[in-house]
């Protein structure tokens, strides 16, 4: 189990069997704070429901009866006289020069319209994202990151350091204003997850600048002392309204 000092937020790894109910007092080796640590309660194991039997890979064959069609009645002289003469196949008409020219102009107009729409979608992508937030994921897949607020996070890097004999996780990057107006810089949230992508720790921090002008950027660095040893993944994004700090 992980123990966190309520005073200096230093984290320690300890064996849960040492904490029998209801718990015990512990002392922080860094700041000397003493607090009561309750014993962890094991979670009940969930019963697995029986898996349904797989359906057969084939469907039973259905026998179909085929009835022979009755033979057509023999043609008599009267029926031959009443039949209409066979029509000669018509040759396809040749297109005139004006119709071919009109079709060529139509295709050229369509291509020009598609190019214009594509250029406008890239040039004004931030304005489009502000009006249509669902387009953010599409721009990200095309390698054109945008954000609904107009502020993006980039150049993310992290490394393990040692300060005063303790491990420290340093996370760096920069925020950029991709819009055409001055915008405030939101709070950034960093989340650490384990191998199974489960969140084990998070913290928030202020970049240090209240706002950015159009096209401006600002670097940032944040550090976490004694990061959880089971952390395997790092996710950094802007904090949403109502999220715990």
Helix (H, G, I), strand (E, B) or coil at 136: helix
Q: Which of 121, 174, 120, 186 is nearest to 148 (CA)?
A: 186
* Residue 45 · residue 64 · CB < 8 Å: no
pLDDT tens for each residue of 202-226:
999 999 999 999 999 999 999 999 9
Sign of CA dihedral 175, 176, 182, 186: negative
What are the backbone angles phi and psi of residue 110, rounded to the nearest 5°?
-65, -45
0.85 exceeded by pTM? no
Report the C-alpha gap between 200 and 194 in whole angstroms. Answer: 7
* pLDDT greater at residue 155 or residue 45: 155
Residue 15, CA atoms < 13 Å, CB-side half-sphere: 2
pLDDT at 79 over 90: no
Report the C-alpha gap between 172 and 176 in whole angstroms. Answer: 14
Q: Which domains does the chain have, with CATH numbers?
A: 2-38 (no CATH), 119-148 (no CATH), 150-238 (2.60.40.10)
pLDDT tens for each residue of 157-167:
999 888 888 99
- Residue 57: Cβ within 10 Å count: 5
């Amino acid at each position: 189990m992980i123990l966190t000092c309520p005073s200096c937020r230093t984290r320690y790894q300890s064996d849960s069997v040492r904490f029998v109910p209801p718990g015990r007092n512990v002392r922080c080796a860094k700041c000397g704070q003493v607090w009561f640590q309750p014993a962890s309660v094991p979670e009940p194991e969930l019963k697995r429901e029986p898996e349904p039997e797989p359906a057969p890979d084939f469907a039973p064959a259905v026998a179909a009866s085929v009835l022979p069609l009755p033979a057509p009645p023999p043609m008599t002289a009267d029926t031959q006289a009443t039949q209409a003469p066979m029509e000669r196949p018509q040759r396809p008409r040749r297109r005139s020069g004006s119709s071919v020219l009109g079709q060529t102009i139509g295709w050229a107009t369509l291509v020009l319209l598609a190019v214009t729409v594509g250029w406008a979608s890239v040039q004004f992508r931030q304005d489009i994202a502000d009006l249509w937030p669902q387009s953010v994921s599409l721009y990200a897949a095309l390698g054109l990151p945008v954000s609904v607020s107009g502020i993006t996070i980039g150049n993310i890097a992290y490394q393990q350091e040692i300060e005063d004999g303790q491990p420290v996780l340093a996370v760096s990057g920069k925020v950029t204003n991709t819009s055409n107006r001055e915008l405030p810089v939101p709070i950034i949230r960093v989340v650490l997850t384990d191998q199974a992508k489960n969140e084990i720790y998070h913290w928030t921090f202020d970049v240090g600048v209240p706002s950015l002008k159009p096209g401006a950027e600002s670097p940032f660095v944040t550090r976490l002392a004694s990061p959880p040893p089971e952390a395997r993944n790092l996710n950094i994004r802007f904090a949403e309204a109502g999220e715990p700090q």
